[in-house]
Structure 1
Amino acid sequence: MAYTVRLTRRARENIQRLYRYLLLRDKHAARRAFSTLEKGIASIGEFPFSYRKTSPEQAFLREMLIPFGDSGYVVLYEVEEGEIVTILAVRHQREDDYH
């Protein structure tokens, strides 16, 4: 059973920021990164409980690592009632925290 995946405005802005950053450096890599993020986020809808919890006390707040190149991206999301997954934020693994 697939969950509906929603992105918050903040998550969309994170993806746009990451894409713009890479686009200035390498257009081909930016397109590949965007595609990789799309596929990763889609897989959360299929298997939302497969990825790690952010803490033992919060079973429904999770994060997924999406490899890309020599690092990757981290997607913070929440599994909600009604078979809904909300993507809360996306960051590059080398960033300090979610923006």
Structure 2
Amino acid sequence: MTELFGVEMTPQAEDDLERLFEFLVVRSETLEELDHAQHELHQLRTSIKKRLAENPWAYRKAGDGRRTTRRELIVGLGSTGYVALYEILPGREIRVLAVRHQREEDYH
């Protein structure tokens, strides 16, 4: 079994997840939709951590591509998706820098 990477969410990434959750809550009109919003953000967080812990080098380079340790993970959930910007650090550590909805312009 291969050794997993440690995954840390920065305060900015945590703020992004909260902002995304609040957006979903505002759009919720029923308790079922509110439950769905909670479930979607839980799935997003879980997917980011699991996929990056297993193989962070598998995802696309971010920016101009010269900095190979900064990358983006696309997480599809239903008919939409999210993008997590992260950096691979020495010592098998991953730092998630930001998370945005795929339809947003860019990271905040």
1:29-61 Cα shifts (integer Å, max 9, x gaps): 212211221222122111111111114311110
- Which of the numbers 18, 22, 30 marks the counterpart of 1:16? 18
TM-score by length of 2: 0.85
1:64-98 Cα shifts (integer Å, max 9, x gaps): 00002222100000000011000000000000000
Structure 1 runs not aligned, ≥5 long: none
1:58, 1:34 → 2: CA distance? 29
1:53, 1:4 → 2: CA distance? 19
> Could you say what the CA RMSD is over the residues aligned between the two structures, in angstroms?
1.2
How many equivalent residue pairs? 99
Greater per-residue strand proportion: 1
1:71, 1:19 → 2: CA distance? 14
TM-score by length of 1: 0.92
Note the 1:16-95 alignment, pairs <5 A.
16-26=18-28, 27-42=34-49, 43-54=51-62, 55-95=64-104
Identity %: 36
* Bigger Rg, structure 1 or 2: 2
1:56, 1:92 → 2: CA distance? 21
Structure 2 runs not aligned, ≥5 long: 29-33
Q: Which residue identity does 2:94 align to in structure 1?
A: V
